[in-house]
Structure 1
Amino acid sequence: MSAFTLDEFRRIVELTLGDAEADSLSESSLDTQFEDLGYDSLAVYEMVVRIQDDYPVTISDEELDGLKTPAALIAHVDGALAAAAA
């Protein structure tokens, strides 16, 4: 399985929240908290459900509570994919 990248994350955002939200994501916004990006907990949950549907990863509620930024979520999914491939 390939790495989970910003482009993959944008695809997930586009599928769950729409084109405008995906287009607003950039390298400079990766460390911005989801809340500050305008994503409420339901939006983040919907993204995580989509990630779990599309990739062989599981993100528990406890893990999700600690993933406050796009960068943290991307790194978590990428690490889980790497572990699954090992």
Structure 2
Amino acid sequence: MSAFTLDEFRKLVDDTLDSEAAAALDETTLDTTFTDLGYDSLTVFELVTRIQDDYPVTISDEQLDELKTPSALIAYVAARLTEARA
């Protein structure tokens, strides 16, 4: 299983939402809250569901409440994947 990086997240956003939303994600927007990026809670839930479908990662509702930015979500998933490989 590969690492989970901005590129993987961007592809997931492109597949789940659209290419415009994916193109808006870059190093300058990683610490912007999902809300400020225009993602409602259903959109974030859909992205997390896709992550859980595609990667051996579980994200509880409580954990999701703490992951408010793309950077936080990417870091969380990457850490869980590293743990899974250990």
TM range (shorter): over 0.9
5 Å-filtered alignment, 1:32-71, equals 32-71=32-71
2-structure distance, mates of 1:4, 1:30: 14
TM-score normalized by structure 2? 0.98
RMSD (Å) for aligned C-alpha atoms: 0.6
What residue ranges of structure 1 are gaps of 5+ in the alignment? none
State the number of aligned residues: 86
1:30 partner SS: coil
Deviating 4+ runs (over 6 angstroms):
none
Render the CA deviation track for 1:12-52: whole Å, top value 9, x for unaligned: 10111111100111111000000000000000000000000
Pairwise CA distance, 1:64: 0.3
2-structure distance, mates of 1:16, 1:77: 17
What residue ranges of structure 2 are gaps of 5+ in the alignment? none
Pairwise CA distance, 1:2: 1.9
Q: Identical aligned pairs, as a percentage?
A: 66
